[in-house]
Amino acid sequence: MKLLKLVPANTAFDFVGKRLLAFVMSGFLILASLGLFFTQGLNLGIDFLGGILIEIKTDGPADLGALRTKLGNLNLGDVTLQEFGAPNDVLIRVQKQDGGDSGQQAAIDAVKNALGDVVVEYRRTEFVGPTVGAELREAATWAVLMAIGAILMYVWFRFEWQFGVGAVIALVHDVITTIGLFSLIQLEFNLATVAAVLTIAGYSINDTVVVYDRVRENMRRYKKMPMAELLNNSLNQTLSRTTMTSVTTLLALVALYIFGGEVIRGFSIALIWGVIIGTYSSIWLAVPFLLYVRPRRGGEESEGEYSKAKAL
Amino acid sequence: MINISTRNRILIALVCVLGLLYAAPNFFAKDTFSNWPSWLPGQQINLGLDLQGGSHLLLEVDTNTVIAERLSGVEDSVRRLLRSAKIKYKGLGVRNLAVVFSTRDPSLTENVETKLAEEFKASTLDQFGSPTREVYVEAAGDGSFSLTLTEEAVSARIDSTVAQSIEIIRRRIDETGTREPTIQRQGKERILVQLPGVDDPERIKKLLGKTAKLNFHMVDEVNSQSASLRGSVPPGSMLVPSEDAGPSGQPENVLVRKRVQVGGDRLVDAQATFQDNQPVVSFRFDTVGGRKFANTTKGNVGKRLAIVLDKKVISAPRVNEPILGGSGIISGSFTVQEAQDLALLLRAGALPAPITILEERTVGPGLGQDSIDAGQIASIIGLIFVLIYMILSYGIFGVMANIALFFNIALILALLSALQATLTLPGIAGIVLTIGMAVDANVLVFERIREETANGRTPISSVDSGYRRAITTIIDANLTTLIAAVLLFAFGSGPIKGFAVTLSIGILTSMFTAIMVTRLLIVLWLRRVRPIKLPI
């Protein structure tokens, strides 16, 4: 049987030589992401903003206009309705109400009373009070920062600091551009998205570490090879694996996106994007970056180590 | 790497068999495997509320009111003490969580200090049995005093308030007939309530939202109610709004005596019943409460007795004759449901402090089942995609990786069942993601074997060095992902924790299956077939 090989056996792409192109592109992506984030912002879900989310099934195709008028008359501020996966499935979002945590329950009552008999089933009722919303926002930020910090520590411990910095640059790039994507398409950013971002961080670093491992191995083996050539070789040697793993993961994620249901669609999109950008950043950012910081080659005594030893 | 001892072979096989055994119950209906011999594992995966349907409520006990109540109790004691000692004082009140006052004569400072120290001497015992001080008395020297509750006293009071609240909440929820509720303390003043199977928690939320403090007060019929409404409420009385709207459409205010004749804590039973075709609540007092009630009604025949629930007058009937039996009836304009709920609340007892709902997540059974179905379909299709792709790419090696992937999924399900971890919708996503990523370790090894073969090594030597070289990479790569997963677990809540759990378990099992199971299969295959050239 002829085996399928997406990447031919002996590739010799000059990744490192074209690094400037990648740097420009990534720079653009990051600036655009930050620009979007600060101008357009994120479509924060109730997890972080506080508020009410109710998913209902109606007795027939829902008349969104009529429902909108009905709920609009309740004076609950911003109320949005959207079809959710099926014409008789409606997602209702009500903004955070005044009056602290206790002020919110009355609004849920009011909405449920107003909806009355069009509703066949309350599929979901979620309510997050302002206190919990603020706490979740804080916890999520910490989780992302801690994850990046912990990964930096691990890579630093296992490799050299240059690798750690390179890995984190790629990682931060992936996280920022994911946030940029969510800002661009205004997909709801909620707790599940944060989980997706952290998973992307894990995946991205996984990919980077595999290539770095090969770089380190080659550095030990070929002490005299020019760094650019060595990095290119490492990338080409691992290219088949990088592609292979990305494809299997993407296959599973695409299945999740198509068949996994409406509730985790945003989550799947974030992960799919993460796998693509994570693969890109390991190849085009994390590895070429090493060219500028020149990690110590096996056997040589580096300046840094020497001065540290003297200071002790 | 290609010599696997017999002992290790048996261990690997044992783990795989155990995995299958523990995963098995999940593929049968509950009553099927309950007939199995008891030595077989019989636990199914615990489904999260987002999959089985149910309600998650995060409540906060307003402990500030309890502390404020206690402080005003201290204020009362101080007032009584100073009055009985005939010491003149000024500015007695509660400010910034402290009872403050000053004596008119600063020379009395020492005298007052001794008296206060005597009044508030260490009296309660802490958990180790040594006396602890509840009130800390501070004298400024110029005759001004400040009394604060000690930190231990405050936290002990908060603890007991929350514990008592949990008890009352449990009683109320049990009375509604909800199956297997989880009620647990979270943090200092929060309570997490999980109600599987409840898809419309509105009634329970209403029941939890009521403090249900019931008191009987005499209506003040001596002083003018209309004068009080204009702002001059006589001391010893207070205005309490009525539960129902009066003729004007607004709730009327009733002037009642502040003194509590009998409290709801003396009730032993309450039931919803009918009187003149109206739903009412009948109640019965304990001995002490019954005697108090009898004395009250004996001395006040012809006067009105107000029934006050949570600072609202339910009704204020006239006492027609002394009620000596210790039981009575509360009538109001109740619906049947309201009468039942009031009876339930009175039976369960009053909450020691008001409760607010901070967070609610309710999933109906329909959406839960839909999510399970969608998750299953996505997992199976994702799995099929990956299986086909692996065979296309690696041939016989792909088949072996696929067998390992099969055991990997069995092990994930087995661990989830054995640990009784909760599977959530994001958790299913974690399994799907793991299916995609699990083959990575195999891919790393296979690519390495390809390289070694291309370098001209023999099949056995290629496999050996392929594994040897790939293993550090596999561990590094997986540990970094594991770090992210553990942080997700630490910071995430509810469903997200479920995702972190399956992701972490998936990482560990995929390392095992890729390094152990696939390797064993390849080694067995190498020994049997003895290929001259590896088909990779």
Look over chain B and give the mean of its residue pLDDT values, rounded to a whole number: 86
Task: Give residue B480's pLDDT.
Answer: 82
A67: amino acid identity, one letter: L
Within a 10 A sphere around the Cβ of B487, how many other Cβ atoms? 24
Same domain, residue pair B34 and B128: no
Coil, strand or helix: which one is A13?
coil
Q: Of B139-143, B152-156, B262-266, B385-389, give the lowest mean pLDDT range.
A: B139-143
How far apart CA B143 and CA B112 sit, in angstroms, is 9
Token pair for A301: 């005594």
A30 touches A299 (CB < 8 A): no
Tens of pLDDT along chain A (312 residues) come to: 678 887 887 788 898 889 999 999 999 999 999 999 999 999 988 888 888 999 999 888 888 888 888 888 888 888 889 888 888 899 999 988 877 776 778 888 888 888 877 888 889 999 998 888 888 888 888 888 888 888 888 888 888 889 989 998 999 999 999 999 999 999 889 888 888 888 888 888 888 989 999 999 999 888 889 999 999 999 999 999 999 889 999 999 999 999 988 888 888 999 999 999 999 999 999 999 999 988 877 654 444 443 333 343
Topology of the domain covering A16-44+133-298: Multidrug efflux transporter AcrB transmembrane fold (1.20.1640)
Of B454, B476, B482, which is closest to A9 when you measure between CB atoms? B454
| Residue B487 maps to a domain | yes
Within a 10 A sphere around the Cβ of B231, how many other Cβ atoms? 7
Same domain, residue pair B236 and B284: yes
Same domain, residue pair B405 and B511: yes
Of B386, B439, B485, which is closest to A202 when you measure between CB atoms? B485
B488 touches B424 (CB < 8 A): no
Same domain, residue pair B23 and B120: no
| Residue B257 maps to a domain | yes
Where among B296, B316, B350 does a domain terminate? B350
Best of A249, A257, A265 to substitute, by most chain B Cβ atoms within 10 angstroms, is: A249
| Residue B157 maps to a domain | no
Of B199, B363, B439, which is closest to A248 when you measure between CB atoms? B439
Best of B49, B473, B501 to substitute, by most chain A Cβ atoms within 10 angstroms, is: B473
Contact: A143, B426; criterion CB under 8 Å: no
A96 touches A155 (CB < 8 A): no
Token pair for A302: 């580096």
Coil, strand or helix: which one is A225?
coil
pTM, full prediction: 0.81
B507 touches B474 (CB < 8 A): no
| Residue B180 maps to a domain | no
Where among B288, B321, B350 does a domain terminate? B350
Q: Above 60 in pLDDT, residue B152? A: yes
Token pair for B10: 């048996």
Token pair for A286: 């994390």
Token pair for B42: 């019989």
Contact: A249, B469; criterion CB under 8 Å: no
Task: Give residue A310's pLDDT.
Answer: 38
A266 touches A192 (CB < 8 A): yes
Give kind and range of the element (H or E) at residue B238.
Answer: strand B237-245
Token pair for A253: 């994620």
Same domain, residue pair B232 and B328: yes
What's the domain range around B17?
Answer: 6-53+365-529
Coil, strand or helix: which one is B275?
strand
**Measuring CA to CA, which residue among B397, B508, B127 is closest to residue A244?**
B397
Percentage of chain B modeled with pLDDT above 90: 26
- What is the arrangement of strands in the sheet containing B237-245, beginning at the earlier edge strand? B251-257, B237-245, B312-315, B305-309, B214-218, B262-263
Contact: B358, A101; criterion CB under 8 Å: yes
Contact: A143, B491; criterion CB under 8 Å: yes
B392 touches A3 (CB < 8 A): yes
How far apart CA B322 and CA B389 sit, in angstroms, is 87
What DSSP assignment string belongs to B462-494? HHHHHHHHHHHHHHHHHHHHHHHHHHHHHH--T
Of B435, B443, B454, which is closest to A241 when you measure between CB atoms? B443
Tens of pLDDT along B438-452?
A: 888 899 999 999 888
Q: Minimal Cα–Cα distance from B291 to chain A, Å?
A: 39
How far apart CA A89 and CA B367 sit, in angstroms, is 11
Q: Above 70 in pLDDT, residue B124? A: no
> What ipTM was estimated for this complex?
0.85
Is B246 in the A-facing interface, judged by CB distances under 8 Å?
no
Name the domain count of chain B. 3
Phi, psi of B186 (to 5 degrees): -135, 120
Q: What is the DSSP secondary structure assignment for residue A16, as one 8-state letter?
A: G
Same domain, residue pair B265 and B146: no
Q: What is the DSSP secondary structure assignment for residue A98, as one 8-state letter?
A: S
Same domain, residue pair B370 and B470: yes
How far apart CA B315 and CA B297 sit, in angstroms, is 16
Percentage of chain B modeled with pLDDT above 70: 95
Contact: B443, A248; criterion CB under 8 Å: yes
Within a 10 A sphere around the Cβ of B173, how many other Cβ atoms? 19
B314 touches B228 (CB < 8 A): no
Same domain, residue pair B319 and B393: no
| Residue B12 maps to a domain | yes
Residue A89's region, left for phi above 0, alpha for psi from -120 to 50, else beta, is beta
Give kind and range of the element (H or E) at residue B88.
Answer: none
What is the domain-level CATH number for residue B376? 1.20.1640.10
Residues 6+ apart with CB under 8 A from A250: A272, A275, A276, B436
Task: Give residue B487's pLDDT.
Answer: 82
Question: Residue B385: is it exposed, middle or buried by C-beta count within 10 angstroms (0-12/13-18/19+)?
Answer: buried
Task: Give residue B5's pLDDT.
Answer: 85
More confident residue, B401 or B226: B401
How far apart CA B386 and CA B397 sit, in angstroms, is 14
Same domain, residue pair B388 and B511: yes
| Residue B506 maps to a domain | yes
User: What are the sequence ranges of the domains in chain A?
Assistant: 16-44+133-298, 51-128
With cut-offs at 50, 70 and 90, classify the pLDDT of residue B127. Answer: low
Same domain, residue pair B373 and B516: yes
| Alpha helix positions (H), B210-263 | 225-229
Residue B131's region, left for phi above 0, alpha for psi from -120 to 50, else beta, is beta
A116: amino acid identity, one letter: G
Residues 6+ apart with CB under 8 A from A268: A253, A256, A257, A260, B429
Within a 10 A sphere around the Cβ of B123, how many other Cβ atoms? 10
**Orientation angle between helical segments A265-281 and A227-259, nearest 10 degrees:** 170
**Residue holding tokens 């910095």?**
A165
Same domain, residue pair B134 and B239: no
Q: Please name every residue paired with B194 in a beta bridge, in sequence order, or none if there are none.
A: B56, B182
| Residue B200 maps to a domain | no
Coil, strand or helix: which one is B314?
strand
Fold match between domain A16-44+133-298 and domain A51-128: no
Q: What chain B residue is nearest to A168 in terms of C-alpha separation?
A: B480
Is B444 in the A-facing interface, judged by CB distances under 8 Å?
yes
Number of helices and strands in chain A (H, E): 11, 6
How far apart CA A168 and CA A286 sit, in angstroms, is 8
Phi, psi of B46 (to 5 degrees): -75, 115
What is the domain-level CATH number for residue B117? 3.30.1240
Q: Please name every residue paired with A7 in a beta bridge, in sequence order, or none if there are none.
A: none
Where among B350, B381, B406 does a domain terminate? B350
Which CATH number is correct for A51-128, 3.90.650.10, 3.30.70.980, 2.40.160.40, 3.30.70.3400? 3.30.70.3400
Task: Give residue B249's pLDDT.
Answer: 67
| Residue B26 maps to a domain | yes
Q: Above 60 in pLDDT, residue B340? A: yes
Same domain, residue pair B514 and B376: yes
Q: What chain A residue is nearest to B437 in terms of C-alpha separation?
A: A249
Task: Provide, as residue numbers in chain B, all residues whose Cβ is less than 8 Å from the Cβ of A198.
Answer: 484-485, 487-488
Residues 6+ apart with CB under 8 A from B291: B326
Mean pLDDT, residues B13-40 taken together: 82
